Amino acid sequence: EAKGTEFTFTERDVMLYNLGVGAKRTDLRYVFEGAEEFQVIPTFGVIPPFDAEIPYNMDEIVPNFSPMMLLHGEQYLEIKKYPIPTSGRLISKGKLLEVVDKGNAAVVKNGVTTVNAETGEELFYTEATVFLRGCGGFGGQKKPADRGASTAANKPPARTPDVVVEEKTTEEQAALYRLSGDYNPLHVDPAFAKMGGFKQPILHGLCFFGIAGKAVYEKFGPIRNIKVRFAGTVMPGQTLVTEMWRDGNKVIFQTKVKETGKLAIGGAAAELVSEGSKL
């Protein structure tokens, strides 16, 4: 059984995360610890799991594992309680949920529960899927299991979106975002990115997940859960266009790269805490 390691964070980590997912200097509630409604953008819940104790090694569960061939495939996050603390000590425990065989790739999903170390109260639950190129063909299950909101297809409706938010990332976005805890060289080292098949370092999936999640949060208020599929890569400096459709307490969304028109996030939705007005 995983014991979990402690994740300690301060207001400084909150501001660094907020800046990593596009907070502006004028968003005082995100960038100034003295602001009245100082807070962390709720997608922060994906960060403590980077310090989770994970009770398996990729080498043991798929053939030909190579860190250079790993891409983030899907992400689900549940926020169990508001307000989210802006400092504290948390413990995350991970478990293996499934290994899917896509023929030339393997898709590995884990689940992580994050609790407040002092009270034991549950704060976040995440499910993350990694897409491991070159690791398939081992005769495993072909289809992922249905896990409700975490695996929902979330097809956008045919009507025009209710809200569209455009946000330009900076050339330094990945170099800044990684300081929140995902130090994968794929996002900063050109040599590593090249070995992974990319012309230059690519943006973290969880960085553009945070940028899109921030847009949903700002337009519709606190979210209970959020799920995305990373459908295409994003280069630091590109512009993200997030389209949102509201249906009751659910917001379906997708994010495209403006410069190429390609989908970066698909199959995505967030369920809102309240159906009424925001906050």
Catalytic residues: 182, 187, 202, 205
Output 246 or 256, the one with its CB closest to ligand HDC.
256
- Least distance (Å) between residue 236 CB and ligand HDC: 12
Contact 77, 46 (CB under 8 A): yes
Output 224 or 229, the one with its CB closest to ligand HDC.
229
Contact 18, 25 (CB under 8 A): no
Residue closest to 230 by CA, chosen among 44, 76, 57 = 76
- Least distance (Å) between residue 91 CB and ligand HDC: 15
Neighbour count for residue 248 (Cβ, 10 Å): 8
* Positions in the binding site for ligand HDC (CB under 6 A): 49-50, 71-74, 102, 107, 128-131, 182, 184, 186, 202, 204-205, 229-233
Which residue is at the shortest CB distance from ligand HDC? 73
Output 4 or 205, the one with its CB closest to ligand HDC.
205
Contact 213, 223 (CB under 8 A): yes
- Least distance (Å) between residue 103 CB and ligand HDC: 7
Q: How far is CA 203 from CA 63, 75, 101, 115, 145, in A?
A: 26, 15, 26, 28, 28
- Least distance (Å) between residue 100 CB and ligand HDC: 8
Output 15 or 71, the one with its CB closest to ligand HDC.
71
**CA atoms of 240 and 242, how far apart (whole Å):** 6
